[in-house]
Amino acid sequence: MSTEVASIVNSDPATDPATAPSTEVKWDVERIRRDFPVLHQTVNGKPLIYLDNSASSQVPQVVIDRGSVYIEQEHSNIHRGVHYLSQKATTAYEGAREKVKRFINARDSRECIFVRGATEGINLVMYGYGRKFIGEGDEIVISAMEHHANIVPWQMLCEEKGARLRVIPMNDAGELLLDEYDGLLNERTKFVSLIHVSNALGTINPVKEMIAQAHKYGVPVLIDGAQAAPHMPVDVQDLDADFYVFSGHKMYAPTGSGIVYGKAELLEKMNPFQGGGDMIKTVTFEKTTYADLPNKLEAGTPAIASQIGLGAAIDYLDGIGREQAATYEAELLRYATERVSAIEGVRIIGTAKNKASVLSFIIDDIHPHDIGTILDQEGIAVRAGHHCAQPVMQRFNVPATARASFAFYNTKEEIDVLARTIEKVIEIFG
Amino acid sequence: MSELNELYQQVILDHNKKPRNFRKLENANYTAEGFNPLCGDQLTIYVNVAGDAVQEIAFEGSGCAISKAAASMMTQAVKGKSKEQAEKLFHEFHSMVTGELDEETEENNLGNLKIFAGVRDFPVRVKCATLPWHTMHAALNQQDRVSTE
C-alpha cells in the first residue's frame, strides 16, 4: 500500500476533514490516457475502444522510451563484456530485476528469474522442479478455472511420470470449492498450481488461504499471477507463495518479458530449465557446473529490451499508484456489470463475489464471434473465444464467450458505447 | 455498417437461426469432424454417398452465424451432386471468400452461395465460412466409412 493511501486511511475524518475518505474515485483518466499513444487512433472510422487488456495491455510512452534508449544508446550483450556498453546493458537489466523484487516484495532479487512470460515460467517450474521431484503415483492439484498454460505442462509431466492430475471444482458463480480442495490434499500430493485471477471469469481466488492449506501437507504451491499482477498489489512473502509467475505484456510492458519468482531454497535445488550460455560456471566435455541464482535458470541471451521495459512499467505503475488504479478499475467493473447485465438476453459468465475487471458474457443464440466482429466494426476490441481455457467453457456449457477486460485507462463513456453496441448486435440478429 | 450488412445478410441470419439439414445422419457412410481450435467452432459433417452421388448430407455442431449458415447452405448446394461437382464447388467457394475468384465476372456454379462473398472483407472470418467445406472435403476423401448397421 502506498504511503499516500495509508495516510488517508489512518486519518480521522472528524478532526481532519481535508483528508476525509471520499467515495468519489479520484482518477484523472484523461491524463492517464495521454500516456498511451496507441489509444489515440480510429478503427473502422471509430475511436478505438480497447477492452482486450486481459489478452495484452497497452504500453505507455515512458516504457516505449526506455526501450528505445536501451536500443539507441546501451544495447550490448549482458554479463559478458568488460566494455562500457555491456556494463550499461547489464546495469539496466539487473536494475529491472531489482524493481521486480520490490514490485512483488521478494526477499532477494536472486529469486526473480526473467522469462518470456507466464507460460514459459510455468514450464520452467515443471521442468526444473516437477521433473526432478514428482514421480509415479504422485498427485498434482490444479483448479477447474486454469487456462491452458497451467494445465498442459502438468498433464505432460503426469504422462511422463505416471503422476495424477487432480482438479478443484468450482460453483456456478465461478468460485472454487474450498472444501473439495481440502479433500484433494493428501500425502500423495506433491504440487499445487493455481491461477490467482481467472482470465476467463475474473474470479480472484483466495490464494493466501489455499497456499496455507497446502503447506499443512508440506506441498509447494505455484501461483499463476498473469492476471493479478496488472490489477492488484502482489506480495509473495505475505502470500507465502513458493513460486509466482507473471507476464510483462499484460502489465503495460512489451511482449517477451516475464517473471518466475521462486523461494531461493527451491530454485537452488531445482534442475536448470535450459542449458547454454550464461547459466554455467565452468564447462568441459566431461562436466558442467551451473551458475548461481538467478543465472542458473536464464540460459542464453534474454529479451534484454523487454525486461528493461518491464522495469520501466513497474516504475510507471508505482508512479500512478497501484491501489488507486485498482480502485478505479473496480468502479469500471461495477459500472460495466450494471450496464451490460441490464440488457435483455445477455448473461454474465463469472459472477464471483471477488472479481477483477473482467466481464465475460454471452447473448442468447448469438455466437461470441459474431458479437466480436460487430463490436470491431464500431472500433471496440474484445476477445471472443474460449480464452485458452476450454475446460472453463465446458464447465459453463458454452462454446465460447465474449470478454471485455478493463484497464485503468478505460472510461465509463467507452462502456456506454459497448452497451449500446451490444444492443445493436441483438437488433441485427433479431 | 455497410460491410457488416454485407456480411450478415438476411439469408445468412435465417440459416443461422434455422439451419437446414441440422441433424445426425444415421445412414451416413462418410463422416468427418471439423474443428477450429482458435475459436472453438466444432461441427460434424455426415454424408451418404451412393454410387458417385451425394444422396444426403447433414451436419451437427456449434459455431458462429457464418459457419452455421455456411454449413446449412452447403448441405443444400451439394445434395444430389456428384462427388466431383461437390469438390469443384468447394474450390469455387474457397476462391471466392479468399478473394481469388470474382463471382460476378468469372464463371462459376456458386448460385446463392455468392451471398458469402462479403466474408472476404473480414479475413479473420474466412475460416468460419470454409470450415464446413473443409470438413466435407475431408469426409469425402478419407473414406472413413461409418457402419450403417
Three-state SS sequence of chain B:
CHHHHHHCCHHHHHHHHCCCCECCCCCCCEEEEEEECCCCEEEEEEEEEECCEEEEEEEEEECCHHHHHHHHHHHHHHCCCEHHHHHHHHHHHHHHHCCCCCCCCCCCCCHHHHHHHHHHHCHHHHHHHHHHHHHHHHHHHHCCCCCCC
Give B119→chain A minimum CA distance, Å. Answer: 11
Stretch B21-26: mean pLDDT: 96
For residues A88 and A218, membership in a common domain is answered with yes
Which of A373, A399, A429 faces B62 most closely, judged by CB atoms? A399
- Contact residues on chain A for B66, CB-CB shorter than 8 A: 369-370
Smallest CA–CA distance from B9 into chain A, residue? A428
Hey, are the CB atoms on A429 and B122 less than 8 Å from each other? no
Q: How many domains does chain B have?
A: 1
Give A358→chain B minimum CA distance, Å. Answer: 19
pLDDT averaged per 10 residues in sequence order, chain A, 430 residues? 36 42 73 98 97 98 98 93 92 98 98 98 98 98 97 98 98 98 98 98 98 98 97 97 98 98 98 92 92 95 97 97 96 98 97 97 94 96 91 91 97 98 94
Give the separation between CA A140 and CA A101, rounded to whole angstroms: 28
Of A318, A350, A385, the residue at which a domain comes to its end is A318
Give A6→chain B minimum CA distance, Å. Answer: 45
Whether residue B147 is contained in a domain is answered as: no
| Inter-chain contacts counted by CB atoms under 8 A, chains A and B | 52
Give the separation between CA A381 and CA A331, rounded to whole angstroms: 20
For residues A187 and A80, membership in a common domain is answered with yes
Q: Is B89 in CB contact (< 8 Å) with chain A?
A: no
Hey, are the CB atoms on B40 and A399 less than 8 Å from each other? yes
Active site residue A388: yes
Contact A372, A215 (CB under 8 A): no
Whether residue A287 is contained in a domain is answered as: yes
Whether residue A9 is contained in a domain is answered as: no
CATH number at residue B73: 3.90.1010.10
Whether residue A7 is contained in a domain is answered as: no
Which of A366, A370, A385 faces B40 most closely, judged by CB atoms? A385
Name the pairing type of β-strands B41-50 and B30-36: antiparallel
For residues A222 and A308, membership in a common domain is answered with yes
For residues A243 and A345, membership in a common domain is answered with no
Q: How many domains does chain A have?
A: 2
Give the separation between CA A325 and CA A26, rounded to whole angstroms: 10
For residues A308 and A345, membership in a common domain is answered with no
In terms of residue numbers, what domain contains B79?
2-142
CATH number at residue A331: 3.90.1150.10
- Contact residues on chain B for A365, CB-CB shorter than 8 A: 17
CATH number at residue A156: 3.40.640.10
Which of B41, B62, B125 faces A373 most closely, judged by CB atoms? B125
Q: Is A373 in CB contact (< 8 Å) with chain B?
A: yes
Whether residue B148 is contained in a domain is answered as: no
- Portion 2-31 of B in contact with A at CB < 8 A: 3-4, 7-8, 13, 16-17
Predicted TM-score of the model (pTM):
0.90
Give B72→chain A minimum CA distance, Å. Answer: 16
Q: Is the pLDDT of residue B147 over 50?
A: no
Percent of chain B with pLDDT over 90: 82
For residues A214 and A342, membership in a common domain is answered with no
Helix (H) or strand (E) holding A321: none
Top residue of B10, B39, B121, B126 to mutate, by most chain A CBs within 10 Å, is B39
Stretch B16-42: mean pLDDT: 90
Which of A367, A390, A430 faces B64 most closely, judged by CB atoms? A367
Whether residue B74 is contained in a domain is answered as: yes
| Residue B54 three-state SS | strand
Report the amino acid identity of residue A23: T
Q: Is B38 in CB contact (< 8 Å) with chain A?
A: yes
Query: Sheet holding B53-62: strands in order across?
Result: B30-36, B41-50, B53-62
Which of A367, A385, A386 faces B65 most closely, judged by CB atoms? A367
pLDDT of residue A2: 38
For residues A306 and A326, membership in a common domain is answered with no
Give the separation between CA A349 and CA A359, rounded to whole angstroms: 8
Whether residue B94 is contained in a domain is answered as: yes
Contact A213, A240 (CB under 8 A): no
Hey, are the CB atoms on B39 and A373 less than 8 Å from each other? no
For residues A237 and A294, membership in a common domain is answered with yes
Query: Over the stretch B119-146, which tens digit does the pLDDT of each residue have?
Result: 999 998 999 999 999 999 999 987 554 3
Give A384→chain B minimum CA distance, Å. Answer: 7
Which of B13, B124, B125 faces A430 most closely, judged by CB atoms? B13
Catalytic residue among A221, A388, A415, A417: A388
Whether residue A5 is contained in a domain is answered as: no
For residues A78 and A94, membership in a common domain is answered with yes
Query: Over the stretch B66-75, which tens digit does the pLDDT of each residue have?
Result: 999 999 999 9
In terms of residue numbers, what domain contains A171?
63-318
Hey, are the CB atoms on A365 and B38 less than 8 Å from each other? no
Q: Is B40 in CB contact (< 8 Å) with chain A?
A: yes
Number of CB atoms found within 10 A of residue A217's CB: 13
Number of CB atoms found within 10 A of residue A22's CB: 9
For residues A313 and A327, membership in a common domain is answered with no
- Contact residues on chain A for B38, CB-CB shorter than 8 A: 385
Of A267, A284, A318, the residue at which a domain comes to its end is A318
Whether residue A19 is contained in a domain is answered as: no
pLDDT of residue B3: 82
Hey, are the CB atoms on B125 and A390 less than 8 Å from each other? no
For residues A92 and A147, membership in a common domain is answered with yes
Give A386→chain B minimum CA distance, Å. Answer: 6
Number of CB atoms found within 10 A of residue A114's CB: 25
Q: Is A420 in CB contact (< 8 Å) with chain B?
A: no
Of A318, A333, A361, the residue at which a domain comes to its end is A318
Q: Is B128 in CB contact (< 8 Å) with chain A?
A: yes
For residues A162 and A195, membership in a common domain is answered with yes
